[in-house]
Chain A
Amino acid sequence: DAGVIQSPRHEVTEMGQEVTLRCKPISGHNSLFWYRQTMMRGLELLIYFNNNVPIDDSGMPEDRFSAKMPNASFSTLKIQPSEPRDSAVYFCASTGGSVYNSPLHFGNGTRLTVT
C-alpha cells in the first residue's frame, strides 16, 4: 500500500499564475478530502468527494479554487489565479468504508508558496 500520493511536494509560483495540485488516493477508497493547513487557521476542509462526486465544496475559499475527480484514482485542486495568501500546505486525504467512523489517510502534502 503506497498510501495517498500527492504531487508536487513543493510549488513556488508567482502571483497570478495557475497552480495545479495532484492527488492519488489509496486504491479502493471511495471518499477523498482536500485540506489546507496554515499557522493562522489550522486545518481547513476545502472539499469532499464521495465516489468521485463533489459532495461539499463549501470550504473552497473563492471561485479561484476548483477541484475535480475525473476517476477513482485521481484528483486535482487548481488555483487560478494564485495569490500570496494562498500560500499554505495542501493535504489530500482518503478513506474507505464508512466515512463516519473510518480514519482519514493523509498524503504528505504540497507546500505552496506564492510570491
Chain B
Amino acid sequence: DIQMTQSPSSLSASVGDRVTITCRASQNIISYLNWYQHKPGTAPKVLIYAAYTLQSGVSTRFSASGSGTEFTLTISSLQPEDFATYYCQQSHSFPQTFGQGTKLEIK
C-alpha cells in the first residue's frame, strides 16, 4: 500500500495567518492527490482534487501544489470556519489511502 504522511499532525494558528500542510507519498503518485476538510459531526468535503484543482464552490483562500511524492495545501488567510482537520488522499494505486490528518486549531 502507498503510505501517505502528513505534516504537521497538528497546527495552531490565528485568524489571518497563512498556513501550509505537507503530504508525502511513499511512491510516485503523479498528480493523483486530493485534499479534504473534515469538521466534527459533518461529512468530509473535498477542497482540491488532482493535486491542484479547486473544487467548485470552495474558497480561493485554498490552493495546492505538488506532484510525484510531495504535495502542499496552503490556506492564504485563515478564517474562523477553516479550523478543522485536513486529510490528503491518493487515488493512484489500489488500495486508495489517506494521510493521518492535520488538525488545525485556533491559537
A binds B: no
